[in-house]
Structure 1
Amino acid sequence: MSQQWQSTVEQLMSNSPLKDLTDNVKTFLVGSLRNLDVVTREEFDVQAAMLARTREKLELLEKQVTALEVQLK
């Protein structure tokens, strides 16, 4: 697309009601997403890793309890 044509399209878009609609939709979406209870992927990965370690510890403790119960019988 030529520079002049691109400039004309950009000018028409900036003066168009469509621009206002686009801005309003973006504002609405950003506001809606902020109200959701979400976390970043990094935070999710950290929590998933912590949960995996906790499960491993729980499994180990369950085995130890089972072994102690066997000893008491």
Structure 2
Amino acid sequence: MDMNSFFNDLQGKINQAIESSPAKDIEKNVKAMMTQGFSKLDLVTREEFDIQSQVLAKTRSKLDALEKRMAALESQLAAQQAQ
């Protein structure tokens, strides 16, 4: 079966299902299929993403501060050892 006939057959089946089903059933079935498909993927909600972005930004800020503090301490130590 070539791709054109496959998609034409698929389109025909979808059209037939749409014509023979009430709109609410179609919407419910499409949502269920999409939810099931998305659950197989490794996705996170927008809320979870935003929270993790905030945590990452805070962690980066703390890391930058620690790197600066470490550089200052290293320069102090080097100055003391030079004396």
1:62 alignment partner in structure 2? 67
Superposition TM-score, scaled by structure 1 size = 0.64
Superposition TM-score, scaled by structure 2 size = 0.57
1:1-73 alignment, distance < 5 Å: 17-19=16-18, 26=30, 27-73=32-78
Q: Which runs of 5+ in 2 are unaligned?
A: 1-14, 21-25, 79-83
Give the RMSD, CA atoms, in angstroms.
2.5
Runs of 4+ in structure 1 deviating by more than 3 angstroms, as ranges, are none
The structure with higher relative contact order (CA 8 Å, sep 6+) is: 2
Number of residue-to-residue matches in the alignment: 57
> How far apart, in 2, do the equivalents of 1:33 and 1:69 lie?
50
> How far apart, in 1, do the equivalents of 2:43 and 2:65 lie?
32
Q: Which runs of 5+ in 1 are unaligned?
A: 1-15
